[in-house]
Chain A
Amino acid sequence: MPAEEEAKLFEEMMTHQEAVFRICLGFSRNPSDAEDLSQDVYLKAFRSIGRIHSPYAVKEWLYRVARTTCLDHHKKRRVARLFLHRVPDAADGLEWTTPEVSADTNERLNILKKAVGRLPKKQREIFVLREYGHLSYQELARTLGAKAGTIMSRLNRARRAVMKIMGEELHGHRNE
Chain B
Amino acid sequence: MDIETNDPEFEEIARLIQEEEKAALEIFRRRDFRREVKARIGGSPTKSRPRVLLRRLPVPAGAAVLLLIAAWAFFFNPHPPVPNTGGDSGSFVAGVEGLPGLAELASRKGHPRPGDGESQGAPQSIRDVLALAQQVRTDEGENAPPGSGNLQVPRLSLEKKMMILFKDRVIERVLVLIRKKSEEA
Residues of chain A touching chain B, judged by Cβ–Cβ distance below 8 Å, are 14, 17-18, 21-22, 25-26, 30-31, 34-35, 38-39, 42-44, 46-50, 96, 98, 100-101, 105, 108-109, 112, 131-132, 152, 156, 159-160, 162-163, 166
Contact = CB atoms under 8 A, between A and B. Distances in A.
B183 interface: no
Contacts of B3: 156, 159-160, 163
A162 B33 CA distance: 31
B17 interface: yes
A166 B12 CA distance: 11
B13 A39 contact: no
Contacts of A152: 2
B7 to A, nearest CB: 8
Given A14-B34, A38-B33, A48-B48, A100 B17 contact: no
Contacts of B41: 42-43, 46
A161 to B, nearest CB: 11
B13 A112 contact: yes
Contacts of B33: 17, 21, 35, 38-39
B148 to A, nearest CB: 74
Contact of B14 (A18, A39, A131, A166): A131
A98 B23 CA distance: 8
Nearest to A102: B19
B162 interface: no
B20 A25 contact: yes
A96 B20 CA distance: 9
A105 B15 CA distance: 10
A109 B20 contact: yes
Contacts of A159: 3, 10, 13
Nearest to B24: A31
A25 B26 contact: no
A47 B26 contact: no
Contact of B37 (A39, A96, A101): A39
Interface residues of B, number: 29
Contacts of A108: 16
Contacts, number: 91
B31 interface: yes
Interface of B: 2-3, 9-10, 13-14, 16-17, 19-28, 31, 33-34, 36-37, 40-41, 44, 47-49
Contacts of B34: 14, 17
Given A98-B24, A131-B17, 6 more contacts: A21-B25, A47-B44, A100-B26, A112-B16, A131-B13, A131-B14
Contacts of A30: 24
A71 B47 CA distance: 23
A100 B19 CA distance: 9
B18 to A, nearest CB: 10
A101 B19 contact: yes
A105 B10 contact: no
B78 to A, nearest CB: 46
A49 B46 CA distance: 11
B19 A105 contact: yes
Contacts of A105: 16, 19
A47 B24 contact: no
B71 to A, nearest CB: 36
A35 B14 contact: no
6 contacts: A34-B28, A35-B33, A39-B36, A50-B47, A105-B16, A162-B13
